[in-house]
Amino acid sequence: MEPYTPYKFLDIFEEFPDGSLSPKVAIEINSTKFTPGIRFQKGVAFGGIDFHLYKYRDIAIADKKNEDGSLKIVGFYKE
């Protein structure tokens, strides 16, 4: 596994009053990229992941950024 750094969930995602989430920075998970402004509700999977299931857990981010500057999510920490 590549080297990674833990980030707080809300350092990477913004949560809106309606419960939707949006990345604050460009991210990649399972080869799928998301940019700020994309919002998704509970039950919607992006890159095979429903981020609401991992809400508030720390996120493992690869130390090396992608060529386009996006952060690569490599996993989530257990509660």
pLDDT of residue 77: 93
Q: 12-62, pLDDT tens digit by residue?
A: 999 999 999 999 999 999 999 999 999 999 999 988 999 999 999 999 999
| 5-14 residues labelled b (16+ CB within 10 A) or e (exposed) | eebebeebbe
User: d(Cα 77, Cα 58) in Å, to the nearest integer?
Assistant: 5
Q: Output the pTM of the full model.
A: 0.89
Helix (H, G, I), strand (E, B) or coil at 9: helix
Q: 65-78, pLDDT tens digit by residue?
A: 899 999 999 999 98
